[in-house]
Structure 1
Amino acid sequence: MQQYNGRYCNKIKFSMNSREIRQSFLDFFAQKGHTIVRSAPVIPADDPTLLFTNAGMNQFKDVFLDKGTRPYNRAADTQKCIRASGKHNDLEDVGRDTYHHTFFEMLGNWSFGDYYKKEAITWAWELMTGVWKLPADRLYATVYQDDDESFQIWKDHTSISPEHILRFGDKDNFWEMGETGPCGPCSEIHIDLTDDASGKSLVNVGDYRVIELWNLVFIQYNRQSDGRLEPLPNKHVDTGMGFERVAAVMQGKSSNYDTDVFKPLFDRITEITGVRYGASMDEPHDIAMRVIADHARTLTFALSDGAMPSNEGRGYVLRRILRRALRYSKNLGYNEPILHQLVGTLADSMGDVFPELKKQRDTVSKIIRSEEESFIVTLDRGIEIFNDVVSKVRSAKGTVIKGVDAFKLYDTYGFPFDLTRLMASDEGLQVDGEGFEHCMQEQKTRARADRKEKHQIEEDGSQWLWFSDQHATSFVGYEQLELPVRIIACKHAKEKLLILLDKTPFYAESGGQVGDRGWIETASYRLQVTDTVKDGDAIVHVVTAAFDKILDTAVNPADLTIDEGQLSAEASVDHHIRQDTERNHTATHLLHGALRRILGQHVQQKGSYVNPERLRFDFSHFSKMSDAEIARVEASVNEEIRRAEEVQKHADIPYDDAIAKGALAFFGDKYADLVRVVEVPGISVELCGGTHVDNIGRIGLFKIVSESSVASGVRRIEALTGKSAEKLLWQEYAELQQIRQLLKAKGDEPVASRIVELMDARKELEKELHEIRIGSLLQSLSVDLQSAPEVSGCKLLAKVVEGADGDALRSAGLALREAVPCAAGLLCSVQDGKVSLAVFASDKAVKELGIDAGKLIREVAQHVQGGGGGKPEFATAGGKNPDGVNKALEAFTTAVKAQLG
């Protein structure tokens, strides 16, 4: 295992704790004119290329792509980051070394077209050596191989030794967002922790004794699809420094895990398990404690920002992390849920910096505990199966676990592949990864036919596409639905035409609300807008149908040529669609308030979707809502609607002020420093950029149509409002009246009880009919059995029974074994492509002749691709190959004769 030397580290002694280190960084850059911004959530908003926020620059990606702006050109923050998937994946190293984490903080400062290399380099040196007093003779600066400018700045404007300025190539010192897009050279600062300051040759070779602390990226090029580098019109600075690494160095520790960042977690784990942390690299107890502490941080921060464990995407990554930690907790001799007990510790130790930890403390704890309890149920059984597999491998003197066995552990017991590989490594074995992947692909192929194709998320940024150069669109749709505009850019995309306007009344899809529909009309064309989406600060109008006003004909939008620049047009939103959407959107706010009042304050929005037809609302709750609770929530919302309160919309409120006044913010939305607050007095106060009715009375009617589970601890309500709700109620009323007429119900006579009576009567008739059919079937089979051939004094019956189901075969078989003194038989039937089998044997046949129905059924079922079992007297099976029935009948006779000798 890798470990810092430790002896040199222990000579570095500072009095700064982690809070002071973090704050001194922010204070330093605030003094340099930087705006201190809050950390973005670890769940990226409006970025399909990322599962998790994995770097400080993620929230500024639109600025680097020249697609967005900020009201400041210098910024600094501490960013919550998760690296546990994609190309940025540190999961396998966590716990086994001193400095890798799945969750970490990244301290960073940025310049958006403002200062550049000189300021970034000299300020970094000033902070590290002037403020933090790190020894200059232990620091190395790396620059890109042909970046003479950075080399000269380090040499002429800092006190670093010129021999400590090193040049490297593309792999180490050229940063790129993806295969295309903004990029540029970088300059990194490394610290030498060797005992004798001999670490020059260890820079950038992955040696734990010389580690990178800070990366200064100079974004000055745009990588083209053909590989060319074009200079950007604006140059930016993007820096990132590992907070935990800096804390370790500043506190003279040989490991990130030995700092005060992790001490509260280790103390709590010791309190729970009785095991103390010894800071050893090889001791299984210490590895386990590092894994548990790190993974508890990842889960707590991710869930506090709105993520949920699930079986796909980021949810599956979190589930893997949770299960990995539980597996390690067994190394501490602890077999109970543990991670949820660390949520409070994190909220207490880091909640002042990240207040969402305190706000979501109880909800996150419940979600994690639910996941732990669910997995622990299968973990022990899975370990038993794993141990059986290991025994088989060793008995065969092998060293590799088959991929199919690893897949069984994954598919049946929820063991992620890396967990199986981890357990195998502990046993000195390997796992056939290709075989496992083959099984996975087979399962995906089977499942693909049964589900819609889902969008696959990548983490390399390659899916982030440019529309054009930056075109910020002014949205005026809160106040206006029709206005004159100018078309400033167009782009063809398959059968669609994408249009940008200088200003627009069209709301772009965001925060769960669908984009507006309507029309853009020029002198020559009437263009139908069927969707509106965001592209950075631009609003894109998607045109899928068009009408040539001069020729009076429909035209394909993909064939149109629209003059870009200053072409005048009229933009108009479909009023009816917008109003229906607004009813549903405002209703989600009322629904959220009602849920919190009736179910409890733990309820938090986890997602929503509103369109003109209906609304969908996901929320945190840990049990199925009862019919009474659903009725109360629905009644509460309708009662508020009848109050007809005005909806108040407050624009440009400072984010912190809005939160301090009780406004609720939600996962999935991206909030600027100035936010819009939508308030229904006495009912709801939420940050929301969507459009809403002016008075809640305009919603008219609210009707819940379903309540269901989405994931562990998350429920979903679907509902209708306004005309849609009214239409549903009229349909249900009409159906009820039709039922009353069919039942000839009078007056207020309840129809439900009449329907129950009819259903009970039908069941009785079906039961009687079943008994009649069984009696007739048994009579026929008894005749067949009496005339059946004998072998060694035992009558043998093998017959296909038409029109019988499995229950009928069972009843008939049990009766036939009593019909003659010595008999054995196989009854088969085929219904809807499925085969049912029943084998019976009389007591004499079993006791005196040794016939075993259980063994016979297993042999017979193979011919119909099925399986089953039972006792010597009676056994059943099912199959899926009707073509094999005749072979099954022949096999039965052969097998009975074999048992009779």
Structure 2
Amino acid sequence: MYSFIGNPAGKKSMNVNMVRESFLGFFSDTHKIIKPYPIVPRWREDVLLVNASIYDFQPHVTSGLVKPPGNPLVMSQPCIRMDDVDSVGFTGRHLTSFEMLCHDSFNYSGNHVYWKNETVSYCFNFFTRAIGIDGKLISFKEKPWSGGGNAGAALEVFVKGLELATLVFMDLKVDPEGQFDVDGEKYSKMPLEVVDTGYGLERIAWVTMGSSTVYDAVFPDVIKFVKEHSGVNFADSEEMAKVTISGVSETYLSQSAESDDLIRYLRNAYIISDHSRSLVHLLKDYVIPSNVKVGYLERMLLRRIFRAADIINFTGNIMDIMKMHIAALSGIIEDFPYQFAEDVIAGEREKFQKNIVEGKAEVLRLLKKKKGIENEDLQLLYDSSGMPPDLVREIASSQNVTVEIPKDFHSLIAARHKIGQKSGEGNIEIYPEIKTRPLYYDDTHIYDFNALVLFSSKNKIIPNQTAFYPTGGGQPNDLGYFVYKGRNVQVTNVEKKGEAIVHTLESPVDKGSRIIGHIDIERRRRLMVHHSSTHLILGVMREYLGEQVWQAGAQKGVESSRIDISYNRKLTDEDISEIEKRCLKAIMENRKIKASFMDWNKATEKYGFRLFEGGVPLSSKLRVVEIEGIDIEGCGGTHLSNTGEIGIIKIISAESIQEGIQRIIFCAGKSALDYIQANYSQLDQIRKATRITSEDISQGVQKLAQENIDLRKKLELYIKTQAESLYESSVESTIGQHRWNIIKGNIEQEVYQFLIKYIMSKNSNFVIMNEEALTCSVISSDPSMVKELLNIVSHESQVKPSRFSKIELNRDQFAEFLKILK
């Protein structure tokens, strides 16, 4: 039970901006203030959204590999959680997006910052001194905590029944062989002790205001705007306060239908207000709606907004709501992409309206097939057609079918689209902890080298150093051979295992052997050209198409390569031409390509999180590859020294592989020349075969194609005329008890096929004797007549009844039946 509603805690009412400033100010003398990270964690591959401030530092900092950006540090981190999306607007306390205030410390051996006692003291002093809450109202509740592969003891902090903060003392990591058990999972000690605190910014503001709901405390102006632009009446705040205090949702509604509607409308106003705030964060990070990953979660929020807007007859502009949120989040949101956001919302609204029309028809079809609609059907309808479950229930109710909607329906949908844990591979090979020196980082032009074999097992070896690049970052491994005992041993695969580089050979090489490696220079060179070209194309596309362009995948090859980007429309021929021109300009300018290892924090502080477009290395240093003035990425691949070495880039194709993802296939350097020459050779062969003398071969081919179309039309007219002539010239004859129209002659195959279709459309009885093919075709609307006639022709009784049948005859049978027809 909440006792602060109508009876707030604290020395004064504080909005979210005031609380944020107070928190950061309170800790600024003792902690380093860190700017908030993006809400889409590009630095992690295991989660879709930042759910808590500690996500910013997992796993690179919490594992001990990377130092924290400040120690101790303080920040306000925007977060989105979809687990309780169905509770938004219903309980009065749930939000999809929120800011998690934190003051964290990272304690290493020999460098203790602060731990439990100091943390509790900081927390108590902040609430009592900065917020002015009576210390007697603050209570602490101990419980274990786990998340993101770590665990530890925790204290939950409550004021008047509302949890305002959690203080986590993280000192455990997931370990199947660990000695500690937390929530059924094994853990062992971490190499450091982390104080991970999380204060609910919005909840602190709420407890100081004592408003009916957290929504009325966080975005009251937005709620007012939504109400003023809606065509319904709403429940008053006192009515909603009863729901919030009781901690229940739909089960509370028990007064009257009118009262139920008023509260339902208010809840939908809350949904619009809350979800639009989350959209601000997602669109700020250029998330494109789709049916996968974080794009799907964004689409879910948009669908819920559109449905809620329809329920309350909202006539306002969603962008106006978002602008109000952006203004309120001025301390967090900078450089918001307004045009991108408007395009996304308009496009999704149009799709939603279309899906509703098609979805209603789909629901009715489903009800004809089965008596009821189950949860699995609801989820499938939502995923495939975007049908809101409450609308499905309304349609089913009109057909006297009852539909039960799970209270956590949208949470279940969101869970289906979470990133799953990667299953372990069978027969995992364990290698010793050996460090192989990567010579390809010293100089990408090292193609021959000496090495000592430190480990050997079957056909696999680990040398002390190598110039062979292992598969990684979308770049295939180098190939070549080792000289061993006077013979060449081919290298078939190279992969990195920890700090060891494992080489798979065509035959064994003994441990302790001294060997000489030789790289396939042509293959290495082409892969370097394509890798540097991938970075160049990405940088050029971002400059030309806009900041919404993010790399979504890449694969380098010898003959060609591909790069996938996030972009909300298909690239046009004009786009491709312009991208090629801009790439050529950069190549002719001979821009420098530099690679260097940088401290993780310094690199991200200087270049931002676009560094991780090509992947997320778990290491203490980031290898940063920069194409001067065009692109900067974290990358472990081999690269050229300058763009001039690329020579030329030719885009082969560009297509949409899924919503919001465009795939560009291209070739560069010698591979591009090979491609262009092959295409020119084909064009030359076409020119010679068609005898086109015009310099504009495309114009000549188009002329030939048009001539072919004209000839085909004439041929079709000829076929039609011939078939109709045969039909009209048919002769009637009585065979058995029925009258038949007889056609005889040498009939061309295309004329024959058209004639069959023409006769069947007329529902007439016909016999076609084709002298050229020695066939007899019988057509009738009465299948029994066809069977009867064919029995006469072939003297067979096993003919199956059909409207059309054709049999082949020898010359004697053909001549005999012709006599019958006469």
Q: Following the alignment from structure 1 to structure 2, what is the Cα–Cα distance between the partners of residues 369 and 610?
A: 33
Match of 1:833 in 2: none
Cα-to-partner distance string for 1:355-401 (whole Å, 9 max, x where unaligned):
3xx243332332232122221223245357658989x99xx9x9x53
Match of 1:352 in 2: 331
> CA 1:289–1:459 in structure 2 vs 1: closer, same or farther (change >3 Å)?
farther
> CA 1:107–1:595 in structure 2 vs 1: closer, same or farther (change >3 Å)?
same
Describe the SS at the equivalent of 1:548: coil
AA of the residue aligned to 2:668 = T
Q: Following the alignment from structure 1 to structure 2, what is the Cα–Cα distance between the partners of residues 678 and 325?
A: 42
Shift of 1:802: 13
Instruction: Tell whether the 8 Å contact from 2:93 to 2:215 is kept in structure 1 after alignment.
Output: yes
Aligned: 1:83 with 2:81: yes
Match of 1:191 in 2: 159
Given the alignment, which residue of 229, 247, 250 partners 2:205? 247
Q: Following the alignment from structure 2 to structure 1, what is the Cα–Cα distance between the partners of residues 515 and 74?
A: 42
Q: Following the alignment from structure 1 to structure 2, what is the Cα–Cα distance between the partners of residues 416 and 488?
A: 62
Describe the SS at the equivalent of 1:189: strand
Q: Following the alignment from structure 2 to structure 1, what is the Cα–Cα distance between the partners of residues 210 and 752?
A: 74
> CA 1:796–1:812 in structure 2 vs 1: closer, same or farther (change >3 Å)?
same
Cα-to-partner distance string for 1:332-363 (whole Å, 9 max, x where unaligned):
21378x544444334333243243xx243332
Aligned: 1:702 with 2:664: no
Aligned: 1:717 with 2:687: no
Shift of 1:737: 1.5
Structure 2 unaligned regions, length at least 5: 179-184, 244-259, 769-778, 784-798, 805-822
Cα-to-partner distance string for 1:169-203 (whole Å, 9 max, x where unaligned):
xxxx222337xx5433322222224xxxxxxxxxx
AA of the residue aligned to 1:97 = T
> CA 1:549–1:654 in structure 2 vs 1: closer, same or farther (change >3 Å)?
closer
| Alignment size in residue pairs | 722
Given the alignment, which residue of 245, 250, 256 partners 2:214? 256
**Structure 1, 368-377 or 664-673: larger mean CA deviation:** 664-673
Cα-to-partner distance string for 1:16-60 (whole Å, 9 max, x where unaligned):
43123223333444444x444343433333644323332222233
Q: Following the alignment from structure 2 to structure 1, what is the Cα–Cα distance between the partners of residues 311 and 463?
A: 59
Match of 1:94 in 2: 88
Match of 2:46 in 1: 49
AA of the residue aligned to 1:290 = Y
Percent sequence identity over matched residues?
22
Q: Which structure 2 residues correspond to residues 660-675 of structure 1 after superposition, within 5 A? A: none
Match of 1:321 in 2: 301
AA of the residue aligned to 2:129 = G
Shift of 1:245: 1.8
Cα-to-partner distance string for 1:390-446 (whole Å, 9 max, x where unaligned):
9x99xx9x9x5356864774476332668747998999943488xx99xx9xxxxxx
Match of 1:375 in 2: 352
Match of 2:707 in 1: 761
Q: Following the alignment from structure 1 to structure 2, what is the Cα–Cα distance between the partners of residues 389 and 31?
A: 64
Instruction: Tell whether the 8 Å contact from 1:347 to 1:361 is kept in structure 2 after alignment.
Output: no
Q: Following the alignment from structure 1 to structure 2, what is the Cα–Cα distance between the partners of residues 489 and 251?
A: 67
Given the alignment, which residue of 118, 124, 146 partners 1:176? 146
Q: Following the alignment from structure 2 to structure 1, what is the Cα–Cα distance between the partners of residues 748 and 266?
A: 67
Shift of 1:722: 0.6
AA of the residue aligned to 1:125 = F
> CA 1:343–1:516 in structure 2 vs 1: closer, same or farther (change >3 Å)?
farther
Given the alignment, which residue of 583, 592, 595 partners 1:646? 592
Given the alignment, which residue of 266, 291, 312 partners 2:223? 266
> CA 1:133–1:231 in structure 2 vs 1: closer, same or farther (change >3 Å)?
same
> What TM-score, normalized by structure 1, do the two folds share?
0.65
Q: Following the alignment from structure 1 to structure 2, what is the Cα–Cα distance between the partners of residues 363 and 243?
A: 29
AA of the residue aligned to 2:115 = Y
AA of the residue aligned to 1:373 = E
> CA 1:466–1:580 in structure 2 vs 1: closer, same or farther (change >3 Å)?
same
Q: Which structure 2 residues correspond to residues 107-126 of structure 1 after superposition, within 5 A? A: 107-113=101-107, 114=112, 115-126=114-125
Match of 1:134 in 2: 133
Shift of 1:328: 1.0
Match of 2:814 in 1: none
Q: Following the alignment from structure 2 to structure 1, what is the Cα–Cα distance between the partners of residues 780 and 220?
A: 66
Instruction: Tell whether the 8 Å contact from 1:477 to 1:507 is kept in structure 2 after alignment.
Output: no
Aligned: 1:216 with 2:203: no
Shift of 1:809: 8.3
Shift of 1:91: 1.6
Shift of 1:728: 0.2
Q: Following the alignment from structure 2 to structure 1, what is the Cα–Cα distance between the partners of residues 150 and 803?
A: 72
Instruction: Tell whether the 8 Å contact from 1:382 to 1:413 is kept in structure 2 after alignment.
Output: yes
Describe the SS at the equivalent of 1:237: strand
Q: Which structure 2 residues correspond to residues 852-891 of structure 1 after superposition, within 5 A? A: none
Q: Following the alignment from structure 2 to structure 1, what is the Cα–Cα distance between the partners of residues 642 and 781?
A: 73
Q: Following the alignment from structure 1 to structure 2, what is the Cα–Cα distance between the partners of residues 136 and 301?
A: 35
AA of the residue aligned to 2:337 = Q
Q: Following the alignment from structure 1 to structure 2, what is the Cα–Cα distance between the partners of residues 783 and 668?
A: 74
> CA 1:808–1:211 in structure 2 vs 1: closer, same or farther (change >3 Å)?
farther
Instruction: Tell whether the 8 Å contact from 2:454 to 2:464 is kept in structure 1 after alignment.
Output: yes
Greater Rg by CA: 2
AA of the residue aligned to 2:403 = Q
Describe the SS at the equivalent of 1:430: coil
AA of the residue aligned to 2:96 = T
Q: Following the alignment from structure 1 to structure 2, what is the Cα–Cα distance between the partners of residues 419 and 489?
A: 65
Given the alignment, which residue of 2, 14, 19 partners 2:12? 14
Cα-to-partner distance string for 1:307-349 (whole Å, 9 max, x where unaligned):
322223332232222212211111221378x544444334333
Q: Following the alignment from structure 1 to structure 2, what is the Cα–Cα distance between the partners of residues 500 and 254?
A: 68
Shift of 1:811: 6.2
Shift of 1:660: 8.2
Describe the SS at the equivalent of 1:401: coil
Instruction: Tell whether the 8 Å contact from 2:145 to 2:168 is kept in structure 1 after alignment.
Output: no
Match of 2:65 in 1: 68
Cα-to-partner distance string for 1:620-641 (whole Å, 9 max, x where unaligned):
6555444334223312321331
Shift of 1:141: 1.4
Q: Following the alignment from structure 2 to structure 1, what is the Cα–Cα distance between the partners of residues 720 and 611?
A: 64
> What TM-score, normalized by structure 2, do the two folds share?
0.71
Instruction: Tell whether the 8 Å contact from 1:662 to 1:685 is kept in structure 2 after alignment.
Output: no
> CA 1:328–1:48 in structure 2 vs 1: closer, same or farther (change >3 Å)?
same
